[in-house]
Amino acid sequence: MSQKNENNKPLNAAVDKQLFWGAASLIAILIVVMVVFEESMGGVLQNIFNFMTDQLGWVYIWGALIVTAVIAWLSFGKYKDVKFGGPDAIKEFNTFSWLAMFFCSGIGTSLLAWASKEWYYYYVSPPLGVEALTTEAAEVASAYPLFHWGIIGWAIYCIMAFPIGYAYWNRGADSMRFSTACSGVIGEKNAKGLLGKFIDFLLIFGLLGANATSLGSGTPMLAESVSRLLNVPHTFTVDIWVVVIWTALFTTSVTLGLKKGIKMLSDINIILVLALCSFVFIVGPTFFMINNFTNSMGYMTTNFFRMAFYTDAIGGSMFPQWWTVFYWAWYFAYAPYMGIFIARVSRGRTFREVGLGVLIGGSLGCALFFAILGNNALFNELSGTYAFIETAKTQGDFAAVVGSLMVLPGKQIILLIFVFIGFVYSATTIDSSAYCMATVASKDLKKGEEPTWWNRMFWALMLGTVALVVMNIGGLVPIKTASLVVAFPILFFVGVAVVSFKRWLDEDKPHLQVISEDYVKVDKMGK
C-alpha cells in the first residue's frame, strides 16, 4: 500500500531540479538540432555510426564478454549462494511471475519484428564467409539471431542488478540508483554530488536512445498492420499516429492513475502473445519450426565462441560491427534500467538464481519467438509460398513481416491480435521506462512516494518525440546509432559499478562466507 495524504492521493515527490532541467534542456536541444538539420542529419549519423562501430566496436564486444564472464563467476563462484536481502530474506515473487516480469520489462514490440525478419538480413549478406542465399546461409541466418538475443545479451541486461541490488538489499543503501552502485569506487560523497547526478542522467539518456531503437524498429511494423486492418496506405503519418496513440494511452493511464488498468493490460498481453505464438505454431509449418530450431541451436552453440569474438578484421565484411556491436550497445543502453528492475524483483534470490535464471529464462523466451515467427517466414520464402525477400526489397521489410503472417489461415484474427499486442507491449514498456526516468529525476523518493504525474508524463512524451524524430530521418542507421551513442558512456560506468561491487564483496567477505555456508547448511537441514 502506498502512503496517502489527507486527500487520499499518493505522496508526490518533488523533482530534482538540477537533474530534471539539465536533462530536459539537453534533450530538447538534441531534438531541435535533429529537426532543424534534418536534411544533413542522415549523413552525420552515418559518420557517427561508422566511427562507433568501426573504430570502437571492439569496446562493446569486450565489454559484453567481460560482463558474461562476471555473471558466470557470480553464478558458479564462491559467492553463488549469497542472497539478496540476506540469508533469511524470503522471495517476494514466485519464479514464474519473476520470469514473466523481467522478460516483459526487457522485451517489447520490436521482438515481434526482429523475430520475423532478422534471418532475412543475414541470409542475403551472411557472416563467417558464407555465400549468400545458399543452404548454409539459411542455416547461419537462423542461428545468429539466437546468439544476438541469447545469453550474452541477457548477461548485459542483468549485470547491474548485482551492484544495485546488493547495495540496496544487503548494504542498506536508501535508493536504487546507478550512481549508488558506483559509490564503492567514486565514494559516497561524489555519488550524491554532481558526478552522481551525471551518472544518473546517463540512465535517462540511455533509456531515450534504447527506446528510440525499440520504437523505431517496432512502430513501422505496427503501422503496417494497422494500415492493413483499416485498408489505408502505410505512410509516415500512420507511424506518427501509432506513436501518438501510444503516448496518449500512457498519458491517460498516468493522469487517471490507472495502475491496475496497465497491469491488467499487460497480463492480457502475455496471454495473447502466447496464444498468437501457439496459433502460428499450429497452423504454420510446425515440423520445420521444430527441426530448424533444433538445427539452429546446434549451429549457434557449436559456433558460440567464434560468434562472440568475431570481428572479421581480415575479411572486413563489417557484419559484426553492423550487427553484433549494435545489439550489445542496445542492451547496454537499457542496462542501468534493467538492473534496477531485476534488483527490485529479486529480493530473496541467490546470485546463482538471478544469474542463471535471467540468462537462461531470457534467452529461451526470446528463442521461442525466433523459432516460431522467424521459421514461419523463412519456410514461406524457401518453399515459395511467400516472397519475403522480394517484398522486403520492393515494399520494405515491415510489409514483408506482416505479409509473412498473412499467408496463414485466420489471417484477420492474427492481424487483430498482432495490432493489440503491438500497442500494449510498447505502452507498458513506455510506462515502465517513463516511471524509471521520473524516479531518477525526483528528489530522493521516500517510501510510498511516487514521482509527480507531470514528471512521468514529460518523460513519456520525450520517449515518443525522440523516437519519431529519429524515425523521421529514415532507415536503420539512425535507429541503430541512437543506442550506439548512449551506450558508450554507460558501458564505462557499468565497469565502475562492477569494480565497486567486487570491493563490497571483498569487504564483506568474512561475514558473507559465514552467511553463505550457513545458508547452505540451513537449507540442507531444512530439506
For residue 359, the minimal CB distance to ligand NM2 (Å) is 13
433 binds ligand NM2 (CB under 6 A): no
Which residue, 122 or 169, is less far from ligand NM2 as judged by CB? 122
The site that binds ligand NM2 (CB under 6 A) totals a number of residues, namely: 11
216 binds ligand NM2 (CB under 6 A): no
The residue among 522, 446, 474 whose CA lies nearest residue 14 is 446
Which residue, 79 or 149, is less far from ligand NM2 as judged by CB? 149
For residue 487, the minimal CB distance to ligand NM2 (Å) is 10
For residue 209, the minimal CB distance to ligand NM2 (Å) is 11
The kind and range of the H/E element at 12 are strand 11-13
Cα 205 to Cα 79, 250, 480: the distances in Å are 33, 20, 15
For residue 505, the minimal CB distance to ligand NM2 (Å) is 28
432 binds ligand NM2 (CB under 6 A): no
Residue span binding ligand NM2 (CB under 6 A) among the ranges 104-112, 226-234, 384-392, 506-514: 104-112
478 binds ligand NM2 (CB under 6 A): no
41 binds ligand NM2 (CB under 6 A): no
Question: Cβ(218)–Cβ(468) under 8 Å?
Answer: no
* Residue 52 DSSP label: I
107 binds ligand NM2 (CB under 6 A): yes
Give the Cα separation of 24 and 8 in Å (integer): 30
Residues comprising the chain, all counted: 527
Which residue in the set 214, 321, 428, 452 belongs to the binding site for ligand NM2 (CB under 6 A)? Answer: 214
Which residue in the set 119, 147, 330, 369 belongs to the binding site for ligand NM2 (CB under 6 A)? Answer: 330
348: left (phi over 0), alpha (psi -120 to 50) or beta: left
Taking every pair of Cα atoms in the chain, the longest distance, rounded to a whole number of angstroms, is 70
Question: Cβ(76)–Cβ(508) under 8 Å?
Answer: no
DSSP line for 284-349: S-HHHHHHHHHHHHHHHHHTHHHHHH---TTT---HIIIIIIHHHHHHHHHHHHHHHHHHHH-TT-
Residue span binding ligand NM2 (CB under 6 A) among the ranges 106-114, 260-268, 300-308, 469-477: 106-114
Which residue in the set 53, 110, 253, 439 belongs to the binding site for ligand NM2 (CB under 6 A)? Answer: 110
For residue 370, the minimal CB distance to ligand NM2 (Å) is 12
200-205-207-210 Cα dihedral, nearest 10 degrees:
-140
Give the Cα separation of 297 and 305 in Å (integer): 14
331 binds ligand NM2 (CB under 6 A): yes
Residues 43-102 that bind ligand NM2 (CB under 6 A): none
Interface ranges with ligand NM2 (CB under 6 A): 106-108, 110-111, 153, 214, 327, 330-331, 334
